[in-house]
Amino acid sequence: MKKTYIVASRGSKLAVIQSESVIKALSQLYPDIKFELKLITTEGDKDKRTALWDLKSSGFFTSQVEDSLISSNADLAIHSFKDLPTEMPEQLIVAAVCKREFPEDCLVAAEKISSINELPLSAKIGTSSLRRAVQVKRLRSDLQPMPIRGNVPTRVRLVKEGKFDAVILARAGLERLGMANEISVCFEPQEFIPAPAQGALAVQTRATDSELNKLVSGIDDRISRLEALAERQILVTTGCGCHAPVGAFAKITGETIRICAFISGAEGVNFIRREIEGPAVSAQSLGEKLANEMLAAGGREILEKIERCEEK
């Protein structure tokens, strides 16, 4: 009988597709081992009304999945890395970061367009992200970012039904769902900066499961891990949550990494953007340095103001 490992995942269509892709990669490496998918319902799957930028806690899409590992009801879990809080339970680790593709954001519009400038005046833009909202307003001050919830197909449908003129989504999700034909415009990630670790899949395990961790490390992609960790270091150093108007994008070329990031006020008025370049092996320390530069340039005051507003 084959040894079996239980793989925990959110139950959304996208999450299942992502988890199945990881299971396929592991099964190809280890054909004598069975990886069995177990679907978990998270708070994010239950609450489809609250705007994500109004959330006071992290782990909205991950904590129940993590609980299944801690309670040994699953052996490994697959997450969109951008959804994982920077502070994980001490019992858990990210044993692998799969090769990342399509880290950028894209626009799905009601009418086929080739530029955001072709959207109508005061167009309604659906987005669940303050990070996206402030960047949209910087591109065109007349555009109206509006909260939207639901899975990717639901958001695309709302555009087709005329509820929104366009929505902004992660390109990776549309590509994995086979919906790339719905994309109107792809943003350059150095210019419209994505969420830290966007497009990357993280395989989470218990730290003590040394045998499984060694197996899972076989699908770890070094470049994707370094890029994602550099981006997430921005969140770690600034101490802000994953729903704050903060973005980061890292790109490794050869042995060099370039990181660009921003911190913004909720209205996009105070917008601090910085870049840094250095050795790829120093990815996280460079991310930390970049974050501290932004904090010193006024980012600390911006984040404190946002925190005070959230407490009211």
Catalogue the active-site residues: 82-83, 131-132, 149, 155, 242
Residue type, 247: G
Write the DSSP assignment of 181-243 as a string of letters.
Answer: GG--EEPPTTTS---TTTT-EEEEEETT-HHHHHHHGGG--HHHHHHHHHHHHHHHHHT--TT
Label residues 217-238 b or e (16+ Cβ within 10 Å = b): eebebebbbbbbbbbbbbbbbb
Helix (H) / strand (E) containing 130: helix 130-139
Query: Quick check: 231 and 197 in contact, CB under 8 A?
Result: yes
Q: Taking the CA atoms of the chain, what radius of gyration do you get in angstroms? A: 19
Query: Quick check: 90 and 172 in contact, CB under 8 A?
Result: no
CA 104 vs CA 132, 189, 252, 294: distances in Å? 11, 5, 15, 22
* C-alpha atoms less than 13 angstroms from C-alpha of 180 in its C-beta half-sphere: 7
Helix (H) / strand (E) containing 39: strand 33-40
Label residues 257-288 b or e (16+ Cβ within 10 Å = b): bbbbbbbbbbebebbbebebebebeebbebbb
DSSP 8-state class, residue 295: I
